[in-house]
Amino acid sequence: MSALSALETALENRWDALRARMSGRDPLELVDALRRECDSNAVVCHAGRVMVPNAYDVELSAPVHEELTRRGDSVGQVLTDRLARHAARNGYEWAGPLTVHVRRSAEVPNGRYRVASTVMRHVSAVGFRRAAQPVDG
| Separation of first and last alpha carbons in the chain | 29
86 Cα distance to chain centroid: 8
Q: pTM for the full model?
A: 0.68
Handedness of CA 115, 98, 93, 122 (dihedral sign): positive
Q: Tell me: the pLDDT tens digits for 22-75? A: 344 446 788 999 999 999 999 998 788 999 999 999 998 888 888 887 766 688
- pLDDT tens track for 68-114: 877 666 888 888 999 999 999 999 999 889 999 999 998 888 778 89
What single-letter amino acid sits at 113?
A: Y
- pLDDT value of residue 25: 46
- Within 10 angstroms of residue 131's Cβ, the number of other Cβ atoms is 17
**What burial letters (b/e) apply to 15-27, b meaning 16+ CB within 10 Å?**
ebeeeeeeeebeb
